[in-house]
């Protein structure tokens, strides 16, 4: 499969652009501290010297962009916007990927069990998937973040909640794939030889499920990153002062007329990340699933 992905990247320029974007942003997330050390500011230190004392807005043009503050500074606090955006990458990536892992593990186990075991297991899972897909989960997530005890770290809570509400889509696809695989001779052979469900799952089904799993997982990362940003935007996501694109964008609301840069930088970062995952995921799907190659 890595060979298939490489071939796809060579052929599909959009997917390559997406892959490059995702990789660059991934590097930014991993080396955030290093990057901000080079740039000379951390995302937490207040700097009133960079502000116009009369209005509390950034001194200078375009939100205070200068050789010192690459993306300018935040109004009222004077914190470095470059550092905030760079560290926000870490928040978004971490929550996006970790919650995807949670959903994939749940979705694959549940979906494969439903497809392979059939009968009542299948009926209950299919029904639960329908219920979950139709659940007002944004409303529910907002509500849960409100009532959760403050001892639970918010990022962990977000990962669990976003991960938990994300499994049904994956389970549905894995179930459909498993139903097809179950009919294949190698699965029948393994069963005839007396292999139990767990063994069949691990050695026969899983290796054949990877391709669709990777495609759905990649395509679901952007919506999770968007969800984290949305929750932070609404004030129920990661708490202050942890940098988050969503919260920066929500703070930008009151400054949009006077300091649009506060909206543009975090917004652009968020947009590029989701866009990168989307086009890369589209390319992956076309490469790994020949049927959908309708580009």
Partner 1 sequence: MLRLIAQRIGGMLLVLLIVAFCTFAVFYLVPSDPAQLACGRPCTEQNLALAREFMGMDSPWWRQFTDFLVGVAAGRTFGSGATAIHCAAPCFGYSFQQNTDVVTLIAERVPVTFSLAIGAAVLWLVFGIGLGVLAALRRGTAFDRIALAASVAGVSAPVYLVGLLGILVFGFTLDVVPVGGYVPFSESPVDWAWRLVMPWIVLAFLHAAFYVRLVRSQMLETLNEDFIRTARAKGLSESKVVGKHALRNVLLPVVTLVGIDLGGLLGGAVITESVFSLPGLGGLLINAVHSRDLPLVLGCTLFAGFLVVVANALVDLCYGVLDPRARLT
Judged by CB, which is closer to partner 1: 6, or 131? 131
Q: Which residue has the tokens 């959760």?
A: 148
Angle at 196 between CA 195 and CA 198, to 5 degrees: 120
Burial of 161 (0-12, 13-18, 19+ CB in 10 A): buried
Please say which residue, 116 or 233, places its beta carbon nearer to partner 1: 233
The distance of closest approach from Cβ of residue 216 to partner 1 in the complex, given in angstroms and rounded to an integer, is 15
Binding mask 214-253 for partner 1 (x = CB under 8 A): --------x---x--xx--xxxx------------xx-xx
Residue 280's CB is within 10 A of a number of other CB atoms, namely: 28
Nearer to partner 1, 18 or 78 (CB): 18
Contacts of 59 (CB under 8 A, 6+ apart): 50, 51, 52
* Nearest CB to partner 1, comparing residues 110 and 112: 110
Determine if 74 is a binding residue for partner 1 (CB under 8 A).
no
Determine the Cα–Cα distance for residues 279 and 105; give it in Å rounded to an integer. Answer: 24
Q: Point out which residues pair with 51 in neighbouring strands.
A: 58
User: Which residue, 28 or 236, has its beta carbon nearer to partner 1?
Assistant: 236
Please pick, from the candidates 23, 48, 180, 292, the single residue that binds partner 1 as defined by CB under 8 A.
292
**Span interacting with partner 1, options 54-62, 73-81, 138-146, 175-183, rule CB under 8 A:** 138-146
Task: At 71, give phi and psi (nearest 5°).
Answer: -105, 10
- Of 142 and 206, the one with the shorter C-beta distance to partner 1 is 142
Q: Is 6 a binder of partner 1 (CB under 8 A)?
A: no
The alpha-helical segments, DSSP class H, found in 12-153 are 13-30, 32-39, 81-117, 119-133, 137-147
* Dihedral sign for Cα atoms in the order 56, 59, 60, 66: negative
Binding to partner 1 (CB under 8 A) within 117-136 occurs at 130-131, 133-136
- Cα 97 to Cα 162: distance, rounded to the nearest angstrom: 11
Of 75-83, 108-116, 177-185, 266-274, the segment contacting partner 1 by CB under 8 A is 266-274
CA 173 to chain centre: 19
The beta-strand segments (E) located in 139-207 are none
> Which of these segments, 31-39, 73-81, 110-118, 275-283, binds partner 1 (CB under 8 A)?
275-283
Which residue lies nearer to partner 1 by CB, 180 or 258?
A: 258
Residues binding partner 1 (CB under 8 A): 14, 130-131, 133-136, 138-140, 142-149, 222, 226, 229-230, 233-236, 249-250, 252-253, 256-257, 260, 263, 267, 270-271, 274-275, 278-279, 282, 292, 294-295
């Amino acid at each position: 499969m890595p060979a298939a992905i490489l071939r796809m990247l060579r052929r599909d320029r959009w997917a390559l652009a997406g892959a490059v974007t995702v990789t660059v942003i991934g590097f930014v997330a991993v080396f955030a501290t290093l990057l901000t050390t080079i740039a000379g500011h951390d995302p937490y230190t207040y700097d009133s010297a960079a502000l116009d004392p009369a209005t509390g807005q950034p001194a200078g043009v375009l939100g205070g962009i200068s050789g010192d503050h690459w993306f300018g500074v935040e109004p009222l606090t004077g914190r470095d916007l470059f550092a905030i955006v760079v560290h926000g990458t870490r928040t978004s990536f971490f929550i996006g990927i970790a919650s995807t892992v949670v959903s994939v593990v749940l979705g694959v186990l549940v979906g494969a069990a439903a497809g392979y075991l059939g009968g009542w297991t299948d009926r209950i899972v299919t029904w639960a998937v329908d219920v979950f897909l139709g659940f007002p989960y944004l409303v529910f997530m907002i509500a849960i973040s409100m009532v959760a005890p403050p001892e639970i770290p918010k990022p962990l809570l977000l990962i669990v909640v976003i991960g938990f509400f994300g499994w049904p889509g994956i389970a549905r696809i894995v179930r459909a794939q498993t139903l097809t695989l179950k009919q294949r001779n190698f699965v029948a052979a393994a069963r005839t030889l007396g292999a139990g469900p767990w063994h069949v799952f691990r050695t026969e089904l899983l290796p054949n499920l990877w391709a669709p799993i990777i495609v759905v997982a990649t395509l679901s990362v952007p919506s999770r990153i968007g969800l984290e940003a949305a929750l932070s935007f609404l004030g129920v996501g990661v708490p202050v002062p942890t940098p988050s694109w969503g919260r920066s964008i929500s703070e930008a609301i009151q400054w949009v007329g006077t300091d649009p840069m506060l909206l543009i930088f975090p917004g652009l970062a968020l947009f590029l990340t989701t866009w990168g995952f989307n086009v890369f995921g589209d390319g992956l799907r076309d490469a790994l699933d020949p049927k959908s190659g309708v580009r």
